[in-house]
A and B are shown apart, each in its own frame.
Chain A
Amino acid sequence: MPAIQLRELCGTRAGDKGDISNIALFAYSAEGYEAIREEVTAERVKAHYGDLVQGEVIRYEAPNLLALNFVMYGALGGGGPRSLRSDNLGKSMGGALLRMEIDVDDAVHRSAPRRRPHVTFVVPPPLAE
Chain B
Amino acid sequence: MDDASRRSVTLAGGQGMYGDDVPSVSRLLDERIDYLCLEALAELTVSILAKDRGRDESLGYTKDLGQYLSLALPAVADRGLRVITNAGGVNPVAAGRLAVEVARTQGLSGLKIATVVGDDLTAQIDSLDRELGLINVDDGRRWRDHVDDLVFANAYLGARPIVDALEQGADVVITGRVADPCLFLAPLVHEFGWAWDDYDRLACGIAVGHLSECGGQSTGGNFSGDWWTIEQPWNWAYPIVECDADGSAVLRKAAGVGGRVDFDTVRHQLLYEVHDPAAYLTPDVVADFTSIRLEEVDQDRVRISGATGRTATPTYKALAATALGWAAESRVAVSWPDAHAKAQAIAQVFRKRVAIAGLTVDAWHEEYWGVNALHGSTVPLKDDDDAPEVMLRVAWRCRDRRTAERIGRQMPPIGLSGPAWGVNGTGKGMIGSASQHLELWPILIDKGHVDAGVRVQVETV
Contacts and interface: CB of A to CB of B under 8 A. Distances in A.
B271 to A, nearest CB: 4
Nearest to B268: A13
A127 B329 CA distance: 40
A96 B47 contact: no
Interface in A24-79: 24, 26, 28, 48-52, 58, 60-67, 69, 71, 73, 77-79
The secondary-structure label for the interface of chain A is: mixed
A110 interface: no
Given A85-B365, A89-B44, A99 B375 contact: yes
Interface in B411-441: 437-440
B374 A86 contact: yes
A84 B404 CA distance: 13
A65 B226 CA distance: 17
Contacts of B274: 15, 22, 24, 69
B292 interface: yes
Interface in B230-274: 233-234, 264, 267-274
A35 B172 CA distance: 49
A119 to B, nearest CB: 5
B275 A69 contact: yes
B294 interface: yes
A13 B224 contact: yes
Given A86-B373, A96-B374, A60 B367 contact: no
A24 B268 contact: yes
Interface stretch (B71-79, B82-90, B389-397): B389-397
B1 interface: no
Contact of B267 (A19, A26, A88, A89): A26
Interface stretch (B23-31, B54-62, B189-197, B376-384): B376-384
- The contact size tier of chain A is 35 or more
Contacts, number: 163
Contact of B222 (A13, A69, A82, A96): A13
Nearest to B321: A81
Interface string B358-378: 000001110100000111111
Contact of B277 (A62, A78, A79): A62
A13 B271 contact: yes
Nearest to B436: A81
A81 B290 contact: no
A64 B293 contact: yes
A11 B272 CA distance: 13
A126 interface: no
B376 A52 contact: yes
B129 interface: no
B377 A86 contact: no
B376 A26 contact: no
B267 A67 contact: yes
Given A22-B273, A64-B290, A69-B275, A50 B268 contact: no
Nearest to A15: B273
Contacts of B268: 11, 13, 24, 26
B138 interface: yes
B363 A84 contact: yes
A17 B319 CA distance: 11
Nearest to A88: B44
Nearest to B363: A84
Contacts of B223: 11
Contacts of A48: 378
A95 B290 contact: no
B378 A99 contact: yes
Nearest to A67: B271
A84 B47 contact: no
Interface in B284-332: 289-294, 321, 324, 327, 329
Closest 6 pairs (CB-CB, A-B): A15-B273, A84-B365, A50-B377, A24-B271, A11-B224, A81-B438
Interface of A: 11-13, 15-20, 22, 24, 26, 28, 48-52, 58, 60-67, 69, 71, 73, 77-82, 84-89, 91-92, 94-97, 99, 115, 117-121, 123
30 contacts: A11-B268, A15-B271, A15-B273, A15-B274, A18-B442, A19-B138, A26-B224, A26-B225, A26-B268, A58-B275, A61-B290, A64-B289, A65-B289, A67-B271, A69-B277, A80-B47, A82-B397, A84-B327, A84-B329, A84-B395, A84-B397, A85-B395, A86-B393, A96-B376, A99-B375, A99-B378, A115-B225, A120-B228, A121-B233, A123-B234
Interface of B: 43-44, 47, 138, 217, 222-228, 233-234, 264, 267-278, 289-294, 321, 324, 327, 329, 363-365, 367, 373-379, 393, 395-397, 437-440, 442
Given A52-B377, A84-B365, A87-B374, 17 more contacts: A15-B273, A17-B442, A20-B138, A26-B267, A60-B276, A60-B277, A60-B278, A63-B290, A79-B43, A79-B439, A82-B437, A84-B327, A84-B397, A91-B222, A95-B375, A119-B228, A123-B234
